[in-house]
């Protein structure tokens, strides 16, 4: 199956709302805190991303995923 090519134009795309980037970079996801065990299914591509980033920063990928979810949740609390 051929991948569709996206065409870009200079025309207006409608009303745009810019949202501040509140998520930290992968390096900022290595803090420790009390945890509760759960089961979650994630895509292989997401797991591979976090495993690669965790290896670069000498930490555990699960810790990075936990920190990402914590940061997201704290933004809306």
pLDDT, tens digit, 9 for 90 and up, residues 11-42: 777 888 888 888 888 877 766 667 789 999 99
Q: Is residue 13 part of a domain?
A: no
Q: 51: burial class by Cβ within 10 Å (0-12, 13-18, 19+)?
A: middle
Domain residues for 57?
44-77
Q: Model-level pTM greater than 0.75?
A: no
The mean pLDDT value of the chain amounts to 86
Report the candidate in 70, 72, 59 with the shortest Cα–Cα distance to residue 36: 70
What total of structural domains would you count in the chain? Answer: 1
Of 71, 57, 64, nearest to 23 (Cα)? 71
Note whether residue 23 is domain-resident.
Answer: no
In a domain, 7, yes or no: no
pLDDT at 8 over 70: yes
What pLDDT shows up at residue 32?
A: 65
| Nearest in space to 62 (alpha carbons), one of 37, 72, 73 | 37
How far is residue 66's CA from residue 28's CA, in Å, rounded to a whole number? 12
58 domain residue, yes or no: yes
In a domain, 49, yes or no: yes
């Amino acid at each position: 199956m051929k991948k569709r090519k996206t065409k870009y134009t200079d025309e207006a795309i409608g009303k745009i709302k810019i949202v501040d980037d509140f998520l930290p970079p992968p390096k900022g996801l290595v803090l420790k805190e009390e945890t509760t065990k759960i089961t979650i299914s994630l895509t292989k591509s997401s797991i591979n991303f976090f495993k690669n980033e965790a290896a670069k920063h000498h930490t555990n990928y699960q810790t990075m995923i936990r920190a990402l979810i914590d940061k997201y949740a704290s933004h809306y609390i």
